[in-house]
Amino acid sequence: MTELNFWQYVKNKINNGDSLILTVVFDANDSTPGRTGFKMIAGKNGDIFGSIGGGKMEFEVINEGIKNLDSADFRNYFNSYNHYGDTPGSTGMICCGSQIIGFVKIGKDDIQTVSDITESIEKNKSGLLSINKERIFFSSSDGRTKKFSFDKSAWLYEELIGIKERVYIFGGGHVGLSVSRIMSLIDFHVILIEKRKDIFTLRLNDFANEFIHEDYVEFAKNIIEDDFSYIVIVTPSHLYDKDVLRAVINKNVKYIGMMGSKAKVKTLFDELKKEGIEDKLIEPVHSPIGLQIASKTPDEIAVSIAAEIIKVKNSVLF
């Protein structure tokens, strides 16, 4: 389920005259399966779409939400749930985490808000979804870079909507092609940077949203620095890799990964340190890139890279 799928479903239901309960994970800690930003919508007939984590707790939340649909004096509210096994007040789930889940009634009066949200997502244009006790509304993102925030005392949940995670792939060869394919499947905006114009893998790449034929280092100046940006370095040469890494290593992005053997990575890191680049900038770089699953082929390497990126991204997952 993508963000766009979810809000289009909500829009269609409202256009059909349905009143709905929107449940949103306002906050989540430890190992709870429903992370901050997870959403689920439920109607009177029991139709649901989305998820706030599954299991017994989700079933109870659905029933509570539907029961409240007929309440004439309904106001948005939130409940806290702990899933620490047999501890006092626990839901009985043993995932060892906690959630704060908001209940929001939406219907025909909210159609413009929902339409604005879907339009923002379709245009990949950032906006700010806000929920308080009274209503749900959508406004300018006002330059924010943090995806989620929840102020319990002020009763205000905010979430950046409409901008996809974006991956900058430096290198359009076999691995770059495979990474483009898998990252598009998981709903990333894929930007491929390749200085060469005559390689056949570019002709095979129907997955990237943007193709940049430019010097790698020159393009690095254009990287958007926020929690939505991920950088994958898979150029055809260790010298290009080093140049790109040097150009992006101080960027304020969510992830930087560089392909290479342990020996190559150590050599490049040592060379960068001799140039005066500090350990604190080098240490966060994921290299050798990807989860270590003994991947060999370009597709296997791409799977390992995507898995590592998902692991990083899911600390603040929609």
SS3 248: helix
Domain ranges of the chain: 3-161, 166-316
DSSP 104: E
pLDDT digits (tens, 9 = 90+) for 186-227: 989 999 999 998 899 999 999 999 999 999 999 999 999 988
CATH number given to 166-316: 3.40.50.720
Q: Tell me, what's the pLDDT at 57? A: 73
pLDDT of residue 86: 53
What backbone torsions phi and psi does residue 79 show, to the nearest 5 degrees? -125, 150
Distance CA 177, CA 187 (A): 16
Q: In the prediction, which pLDDT does 96 show?
A: 54
Which residue ranges in the chain fall short of pLDDT 50?
A: 87-91, 93-95, 316-318
d(CA 147, CA 287): 26
Distance CA 85, CA 116 (A): 41
